[in-house]
Amino acid sequence: MRAMKDGRPASGQMFSVATSGGGSRAALAAAAAILIMLAALPAFAARNLIQDLIFLFYMLALAQCWNLLAGFSGLISVGQQAFVGLGGYMLFALTLFAGLDPLLAIPLAGVVCATFALPTALIVFRLRGAYFAIGTWVVAEVYRLVFAQFKGLGGGTGTSLAPSVTSTVFGIEWVKALFDVRTPAARDIISYWGALVLMAGTLVFVYAVLRSRRGLALGAIRDQEAAAAGLGVDIYRTKRAVYVAAAAMTGMIGALIYLQKARISPDAAFSVLDWTAYVIFIVVIGGIGTMEGPVIGAIIFYLLQRYLADFGAWYLILLGTLAIAVMLFAPRGLWGFVAERFRVTLFPTRRRLVIGADEVKGG
Amino acid sequence: MTGALDAVIQGVLLGGLYALFAAGLSLIFGVMRLVNLAHGDLIVLAAFVILVVAEKLGLDPFAAVLVAAPILFAIGFVLQHVLLNRTLGRDLLPPLLVTFGLSIIIQNGLLQLFSADSERLRSGAIETASIALGGGIAIGVVPLLTLLSAVAVIVILNLIFYRTPLGRAFRATSDDPEVAQLMGIDHNRIFATAMGLAFVVIAIAALYLGLRANFDPTIGPARLLYAFEAVIIGGLGSFWGTLAGGIVLGLAQTIGARIDPEWQILSGHLAFLAVLAIRPRGLFPRALD
């Protein structure tokens, strides 16, 4: 168990602040093993499993980003589709006009999104709480309407990635030779690895932020803004940093999504349903404000999507009802329920006060 | 010159519609600090209720709204009492997410019941009637009625808020629900009544929405954004500010559309962001949060 700080209060009893909990070491080892297995999966898995997993990974990555905003920082955004769409369009612009390799365009799309997020934050941060939510939605609509005006990118009807772009992705010849597959399957495998890297990267990033001093500041802001300010937390800068970082990650995920889809249009790329409503559903069902929650939520969402999406409107009515029921009866989501019952945590981000020296050593 | 004057007149009239969208949102926020993400979908739902009443009873939409209003009041009352009151508290997330879920349920429920086809409320000759002002400028009768109704709704809401015991209870609960409760006010009931009242305003907004243009189950979220923009442009806490906000939005959209028809909605959003950048508390602020 890692002790963050030791001290000796007046009573003479040892105390320390600890973050690790039961099972977290084992979870780390398991996560590494799972990651290696997932990376090697294209050697055995069928192509549609690979495609399904790409979807699962990018939805999970989006959910972690939204959870960082809403669950850990109190920034409830209904406008993250702005950065999914912007990232997607940047991928198209950078590959079609600048001739960049798509794998290089993905991080650049993240940089562009961060650059756009700064002035956006300047305006939407003037709105608080629930009004911030709708304000971010308006901004996403502005992005959608503006991209519908760019005739070079297909205007309102959208455009496709030229096959010459998608079939010459960096490393595709190597993948074709290694797995003995044709170009479309090799493209999927590269997207799959990209999605895996982004998903794992978001997990590590969010985890690192929450374990840092800034993570502590975020929790303080979310729980009691005035008190956090009183303790010397620079609220505005902290929130802005999180908003910009989430935008950059969301933008990279968006770029990857549209590399995989190879076709973009303003209505799809800036869809509030696809990139925000589903993501909120994942986080709420799984457990908002925990890192484990979105993982569980994403798996449940993937299964529902796979088996029930054909029911169309009824499927969406079911999702809406489930989200409302969870919010009313189990506001901490499925993981919150499990964690409370069995006192486990896989991503230890909460700080606990441990009293007594033996306990500190015993973890 | 005539073109510019015409744009201003049409913009102000369009603003009346947005003020009607916004009045309900403003009322709910004013009483219970609830931001209802399903507001736009509720307007569309109300338009379908009016449509069904008009068709089943063979009524004109103006008469159908009188039948639909009490039904909608009851729906609003029950919705608040059974569902939304449970979400109110210090935490912002539950009301936002529950109303967001509600928005998706209403949209898809309507899609299931009525299909994605466009509908319209039909009221005969009045739909296309207009009053010529000379100089090539004419005012549509329905847009004019919309603006007059918006003004009437705001006058009545102000009377209810500042001249009646119910309004006193609204204001007291809004200021401090706990003290209001000590004074014998059942705040759950007050909130439910406020939501019922908001649904009546929504019914009036829906009447003009359906008379002025086609509607289908998917257009709700955009109406929510217009309503929200009008409230913020006008400044929180003032019904007259909401009317002014609606008119600013209507003007921005109409003038934008004159420059390029594709810019109508975008101009409205940009006007909203500009107000937010220059006067973050709106043009006529009253409430502090």
Distance CA B161, CA B151 (A): 15
Instruction: Give the residue numbers spanning the domain of B205.
Output: 2-278
- For residue A130 the two structure tokens come to 């629930």
Instruction: Express each pLDDT in B197-211 by its tens digit.
Output: 999 999 999 999 999
8 Å CB contact between B38 and B221: no
- Confidence at A362, pLDDT banded by 50, 70, 90: very low
Question: What pLDDT was estimated at residue A92?
Answer: 95
Which comes out higher in pLDDT, residue A225 or B244? Answer: B244
Task: Examine residue A219 and state whether it is found in any structural domain, yes or no.
Answer: yes
Question: What pLDDT was estimated at residue B1?
Answer: 67
Give every CB contact of residue B127 below 8 A, 6+ residues apart in sequence.
B142, B211
Rounded to the nearest angstrom, the minimum Cα separation between B105 and chain A is 5
Distance CA A272, CA A252 (A): 18
Instruction: Express each pLDDT in A135-170 by its tens digit.
Output: 999 999 999 999 999 988 988 899 998 888 888 888
CATH number at residue A111: 1.10.3470
ipTM above 0.85? yes
Nearest residue of A to residue B265, measured between CA atoms: A145
Instruction: Express each pLDDT in A173-214 by its tens digit.
Output: 888 888 888 888 999 999 999 999 999 999 999 999 988 888
**Chain B positions in Cβ-Cβ contact with residue A72 (cut-off 8 Å):** none
Instruction: Express each pLDDT in B17-50 by its tens digit.
Output: 999 999 999 999 888 889 899 999 999 999 999 9
Mutate to test the interface with A, among B79, B84, B93, B270 (most CBs of A within 10 A): B93
User: How confident is the model over B158-169, as a mean pLDDT?
Assistant: 93
Q: Residue A111 pLDDT > 80, yes or no?
A: yes
Rounded to the nearest angstrom, the minimum Cα separation between A95 and chain B is 28
Instruction: Give the residue numbers spanning the domain of A193.
Output: 15-356
Rounded to the nearest angstrom, the minimum Cα separation between B277 and chain A is 6
Minimal Cβ distance to B102: which of A128, A148, A324: A324
**Chain B positions in Cβ-Cβ contact with residue A319 (cut-off 8 Å):** 101, 104
At A125, is the secondary structure helix, strand, or coil?
Answer: coil
Task: Examine residue B287 and state whether it is found in any structural domain, yes or no.
Answer: no
Nearest residue of B to residue A70, measured between CA atoms: B93
Minimal Cβ distance to B265: which of A127, A145, A312: A145
CA distances B55 to A113, B111, B211, Å, are 50, 18, 14
Question: What pLDDT was estimated at residue A27?
Answer: 77
Q: Residue A287 pLDDT > 70, yes or no?
A: yes
User: How confident is the model over A246-270, as a mean pLDDT?
Assistant: 96
Interface A:B, Cβ pairs < 8 A: 116
User: How confident is the model over B282-288, as a mean pLDDT?
Assistant: 71
**In B, what residues contact A, Cβ < 8 A?**
35, 37, 83, 86-87, 92-98, 100-105, 107-109, 111-112, 221-222, 224-225, 228-229, 232, 262, 265-266, 269-270, 272-273, 276-277, 280, 289
Q: Do B108 and A314 touch (CB under 8 A)?
A: yes
User: How confident is the model over A318-346, as a mean pLDDT?
Assistant: 86
CATH number at residue B206: 1.10.3470
Alpha helices in A212-312 (DSSP H): 213-223, 225-230, 235-261, 266-269, 272, 278-286, 292-308
Q: Do B100 and A148 touch (CB under 8 A)?
A: no
Mutate to test the interface with A, among B105, B111, B262 (most CBs of A within 10 A): B105
Rounded to the nearest angstrom, the minimum Cα separation between B270 and chain A is 8
8 Å CB contact between A276 and A79: yes
Q: Residue A6 pLDDT > 70, yes or no?
A: no
- For residue B189 the two structure tokens come to 């009931």
Question: What pLDDT was estimated at residue B232?
Answer: 92
Kind plus residue range of the DSSP H or E element containing A6: strand A3-7
Backbone angles phi, psi at A264, to 5 degrees: -135, 145
Q: Cβ of A1 under 8 Å from any chain B Cβ?
A: no
- pTM given for the model: 0.90
Minimal Cβ distance to A327: which of B97, B105, B262: B97
- The residue type of B269 is H
Question: What pLDDT was estimated at residue A224?
Answer: 81
Rounded to the nearest angstrom, the minimum Cα separation between A69 and chain B is 12
Question: What pLDDT was estimated at residue A360?
Answer: 43
Domain count, chain A: 1
Average pLDDT, chain A: 87
**CA torsion through residues B274, B278, B281, B283, sign:** negative
Minimal Cβ distance to A316: which of B108, B269, B273: B108
8 Å CB contact between A326 and A277: no
Task: Examine residue A298 and state whether it is found in any structural domain, yes or no.
Answer: yes
**Chain B positions in Cβ-Cβ contact with residue A122 (cut-off 8 Å):** 277
Q: Residue B72 pLDDT > 60, yes or no?
A: yes
Nearest Cα to B18, choosing from B280, B252, B285, B238? B252
Average pLDDT, chain B: 92
Q: Residue A349 pLDDT > 80, yes or no?
A: no
Question: What pLDDT was estimated at residue B241?
Answer: 92
Give every CB contact of residue A273 below 8 A, 6+ residues apart in sequence.
A316, B104
Domain count, chain B: 1
Mutate to test the interface with B, among A236, A324, A326, A329 (most CBs of B within 10 A): A324
**Chain A positions in Cβ-Cβ contact with residue B265 (cut-off 8 Å):** 141, 145
Q: Cβ of A74 under 8 Å from any chain B Cβ?
A: yes
Distance CA A122, CA A103 (A): 30
Distance CA A241, CA A247 (A): 10
Nearest Cα to A17, choosing from A345, A362, A351, A344? A351
Task: Examine residue A271 and state whether it is found in any structural domain, yes or no.
Answer: yes
Nearest residue of A to residue B261, measured between CA atoms: A149
Q: Residue A78 pLDDT > 70, yes or no?
A: yes
Name the one residue in this structure whose structure tokens are 């906000």. B245
Nearest residue of B to residue A325, measured between CA atoms: B98
Q: Cβ of A122 under 8 Å from any chain B Cβ?
A: yes
**Chain A positions in Cβ-Cβ contact with residue B37 (cut-off 8 Å):** 78, 133-134
Most confident of A25-34, A209-218, A308-317, B125-134: A308-317
